Amino acid sequence: MTDSHESSEQPDFDEERAAFYVGKYILIGLTYLDHEGNELRTDQRHGVITSANRDTIEISLRGVHEEQSWRLPPDLGAIFIADPGIYKLRATNEVVENPDLIANWTINKAAPSN
């Protein structure tokens, strides 16, 4: 028997949870790191989740990214219920009030190949 932390299998996708997220307003924080773990930049996006399935989570963006879509990996464990409040986005100075959900992602740049 293999310990769940050692397994390379993806956890089961929760269709019910995914369906709950559709139509919810989400605030996404992005941190970009170089291959050594140094922060390169941060960014924020926000909008309405239009679909969530085993392949992707699709978001219709609002604010400065209005009329664009954004896709997240289908990792429902990275999405949380947001605390009520006013969120000011550092990159754009936009204000998002009382989003339903929040997600933070770290994107690591691959090391240069030799």
Rounded distance between C-alpha atoms, residue 41 and residue 43, angstroms = 7
In degrees to the nearest 10, what's the CA dihedral of 88, 89, 90, 91? -150
Domain contains 8: no
Domain contains 10: no
Instruction: Quote the number of domains for the chain.
Output: 1
Domain contains 1: no
Secondary structure (3-state) at 79: strand
Q: What is the pLDDT of residue 7?
A: 37
Domain contains 7: no
**Owning domain of residue 45:** 15-108
* 6-64: pLDDT as tens digits: 434 455 788 999 999 999 999 999 999 999 999 999 999 999 999 999 999 999 999 99
* pTM across the whole model: 0.83
CA distances from 19 to 23, 41, 50, 52, 114 (A): 9, 32, 10, 7, 44
